[in-house]
Amino acid sequence: MSNYHIKNFPEYFHEYRKSVRNPELFWEEIAEEHFLWRKKWDNVLSWDFAKPEVKWFEGSKLNITENCIDRHLFTKGDKTAILFEPNDPKEPATHISYKELHARVNQMANVLKSKGIKKGDRVCIYLPMIPELAVSLLACARIGAIHSVVFAGFSANALATRINDSDCKMVLTSDGSYRGVKTIDLKGIVDEALESCSTVESVLVVKRIQSEINMKDGRDFWLEPLLAGASTDCEPEIMDAEDPLFILYTSGSTGKPKGMVHSTAGYMVYTAYTFKNVFQYRDSDVYWCTADIGWITGHSYIVYGPLANGATTVMFEGVPSYPDFGRFWEIVEKHKINQFYTAPTAIRALAKEGVQHVEQHDLSSIKVLGTVGEPINEEAWHWYDDNVGKKKAPIVDTWWQTETGGILITPIPFCTPTKPTYATLPFLGIQPALMDENGQEIKGNQAEGRLCIKFPWPSMARTIWGNHQRYKDTYFSAFENKYFTGDGALRDEVGYYRITGRVDDVIIVSGHNMGTAPIEDAINEHPAVAESAIVGFPHEVKGNALYGYVTLKETGESRNHDNLRKEINQMITEQIGPIAKLDKIQFTAGLPKTRSGKIMRRILRKIASNDTSNLGDTSTLLNPEVVQDIMDNVL
């Protein structure tokens, strides 16, 4: 018998021991007792990190939407599945029941089919946080199409790169989106992207902001009339356990974004089981994760994990600052939110605006608070604990990644004693390891090293779309027979983990992964720029912000070109999106380089962070003189 709902610390220990002694049996029992299978598996797990290859529940047949929707229809048909809170507080919230969700997903699935989408086709979804977004993910899953959601804040260029990388056949979008007082012309961005995408045959458009847009004959279709004419029945496509469910792009330290591929059965089992336990979700609860579905947090913990548990999950279209900084707390009060899951950057931004915004609202419904996306600093942790949770709601600091599919290190509320800034203990089935510089595992507590995972878990990404070698090189080559996370961590005297941050060139800005290479590429396209280097530096609200060192072609040019700074940020906005804009741009005479020509980012990082006491030996550099010059002109 499995224990689907862990309720206290001894239960956690007992189950954890079981889960690492015999992971196959542990996951088999969970899978067997809590999900709907069209056919059971022949083999629970086969794996080889050297290839790398991981397969869970091989031979089984299922459809994830039957698990997320159909099986709840008899018991919870009228329960709210998705509670939609619009950008404008004057617009009423919408409650979509499981029955309605079933009908809407089937209609959308039938529309996709009518436009020629079939099992295995890739569909790009570029939509704001409106119900159609969740419905489209599920509609793809219903018919076995692979969804690739692109966050609707990315630029036309970034969108085109992602569409082309996985040869998407269709794009789902809207006329535009609301963001506080602003509107964004999403369809215009799609039109621009599609100028360089040859695989897209059709574009389906949701009417959201009623703006005038261009509709290309034969390619673009309004979704509403198509949905109205579509049947509310759609037989689910029966999928193999390891069939891809979706692709989601994440930044790497170099090169183009990586299309992480997640498979069906393992992803479903792990996200559902973690959701239940990490948030201690009970049947009448209303759960709200403030992430966007454009990121993995939204995929796993707004859509799939909650719906697989028959939960009520909130989708919020707006921003925390509109119409004022009390908006989150107003929503908590209005919908009596029981579990609230957000990012440290949001907590810091709201804390800065003062506690009065929180105090105006009744937050007594909150039972569990969550954070994700970046390390949470002690001050933000206490502000959250004191003012939002009133010291009564445990904070789950959940550590995980796009690649891991689900939460790997986290407290279980009411079970694990929390400790500020610590993600605490591994979730069931997760076997972390800290590695030293020489590639050896550091045993025992009170250690610091590179964080790896030693054994597969069901929701790990299976490959990078179109580039398995890169998957191997990035995650399975640094340490033999281990998944390398790219993060550093320390383990305290009782075995709690604290994530210290990235150890590669990925910078987490406001909880979003930023690879330095694509930003540098964008800057280098400016005709005045010779070369550039991007590093992160500590920022009060964003956690990290981006600092650019830029060398111009004409060295005689003034170093204080505000216009040039604007142009550079404009280029970044066009190539990637506003989230990648630089906070500071310093024009330099040159960049410090090793004799082999590699930019010494370590030195640049220290200078940008105002930490120049120990720059290390700079005499071996090709051009040591530039270091002093950069220090003298630091911003």
Q: How far is CA 330 from CA 206, 281, 496, 622, in A?
A: 28, 22, 34, 57
CB 562 → ligand PRX: shortest distance, Å? 32
The reply on whether position 418 binds ligand PRX by CB under 6 A is: no
Choice between 301 and 455, CB closer to ligand PRX: 301
Choice between 10 and 538, CB closer to ligand PRX: 538
Write the interaction track for ligand PRX spanning residues 544-563; mark x where CB under 6 A is met and - where it is not.
--------------------
Question: Which residue from 84, 400, 465, 496 is in contact with ligand PRX, where contact means CB under 6 A?
Answer: 400
Q: Which stretch binds ligand PRX (CB under 6 A): 78-86, 195-203, 412-420, 483-491?
A: 483-491
The reply on whether position 348 binds ligand PRX by CB under 6 A is: no
The reply on whether position 372 binds ligand PRX by CB under 6 A is: yes
Tell me the β-bridge partners of 551: 531, 588
Question: Which residue from 106, 297, 459, 544 is in contact with ligand PRX, where contact means CB under 6 A?
Answer: 297
Distance, CA of 123 to CA of 137 (rounded, Å): 9
Write the interaction track for ligand PRX spanning residues 92-131; mark x where CB under 6 A is met and - where it is not.
----------------------------------------
**One-letter amino acid for residue 510 of the chain:** S
Question: Which residue from 111, 123, 423, 579 is in contact with ligand PRX, where contact means CB under 6 A?
Answer: 423
CB 498 → ligand PRX: shortest distance, Å? 8
Question: Which residue from 150, 430, 508, 550 is in contact with ligand PRX, where contact means CB under 6 A?
Answer: 508
Distance, CA of 277 to CA of 413 (rounded, Å): 8
Choice between 143 and 315, CB closer to ligand PRX: 315
Question: Which residue from 385, 397, 505, 520 is in contact with ligand PRX, where contact means CB under 6 A?
Answer: 397
DSSP 8-class letter at 302: I
Count, residues in the chain: 635
The reply on whether position 250 binds ligand PRX by CB under 6 A is: yes
CB 318 within 8 A of CB 326: no
What is the Rg, in whole angstroms, of the alpha carbon atoms belonging to the chain?
24
Q: Which stretch binds ligand PRX (CB under 6 A): 191-199, 327-335, 370-378, 547-555?
A: 370-378
- Angle of helix 601-608 relative to helix 625-632, nearest 10 degrees? 20
Report the half-sphere exposure of 401 (CA within 13 A, side-chain side): 26
Distance, CA of 379 to CA of 421 (rounded, Å): 9
The reply on whether position 464 binds ligand PRX by CB under 6 A is: no
Distance, CA of 414 to CA of 193 (rounded, Å): 48
The reply on whether position 399 binds ligand PRX by CB under 6 A is: yes
CB 538 → ligand PRX: shortest distance, Å? 14
Provide the H-helix boundaries in 195-323: 223-228, 265-278, 296-298, 305-308
In the complex, residue closest to ligand PRX by CB: 402
CB 297 → ligand PRX: shortest distance, Å? 5
Distance, CA of 131 to CA of 332 (rounded, Å): 19
CB 184 → ligand PRX: shortest distance, Å? 22
CB 239 → ligand PRX: shortest distance, Å? 25
Q: Which stretch binds ligand PRX (CB under 6 A): 65-73, 144-152, 485-493, 606-614?
A: 485-493
Of 176, 198, 200, give the one whose Cα is nearest residue 186.
Answer: 176
Write the interaction track for ligand PRX spanning residues 176-195; mark x where CB under 6 A is met and - where it is not.
--------------------
In terms of Cβ atoms closer than 10 Å to its own Cβ (0-12, 13-18, 19+), residue 289 is: buried
CB 367 within 8 A of CB 337: no
Write phi, then psi, for 570 (nearest 5 degrees): -65, -40
Give, in degrees to the nearest 5, the angle at Cα 565 between 576 and 540: 75
Residue 280: CB atoms within 10 A of its CB come to 21
Q: How far is CA 310 from CA 285, 317, 341, in A?
A: 10, 22, 18
**One-letter amino acid for residue 307 of the chain:** L
CB 291 → ligand PRX: shortest distance, Å? 8
CB 78 → ligand PRX: shortest distance, Å? 32
Give, in degrees to the nearest 5, the angle at Cα 249 between 380 and 510: 20
Choice between 455 and 475, CB closer to ligand PRX: 475
CB 396 → ligand PRX: shortest distance, Å? 9
Distance, CA of 624 to CA of 603 (rounded, Å): 11
Choice between 157 and 398, CB closer to ligand PRX: 398
The reply on whether position 486 binds ligand PRX by CB under 6 A is: yes
Choice between 278 and 331, CB closer to ligand PRX: 278
In terms of Cβ atoms closer than 10 Å to its own Cβ (0-12, 13-18, 19+), residue 33 is: exposed
Distance, CA of 471 to CA of 52 (rounded, Å): 8
The reply on whether position 455 binds ligand PRX by CB under 6 A is: no
CB 216 within 8 A of CB 202: no
CB 384 → ligand PRX: shortest distance, Å? 13
The reply on whether position 296 binds ligand PRX by CB under 6 A is: yes
Choice between 97 and 401, CB closer to ligand PRX: 401
The reply on whether position 432 binds ligand PRX by CB under 6 A is: no
Q: Which residues bind ligand PRX (CB under 6 A)?
A: 250, 296-297, 372-375, 397-402, 423, 485-487, 499, 502, 508, 513
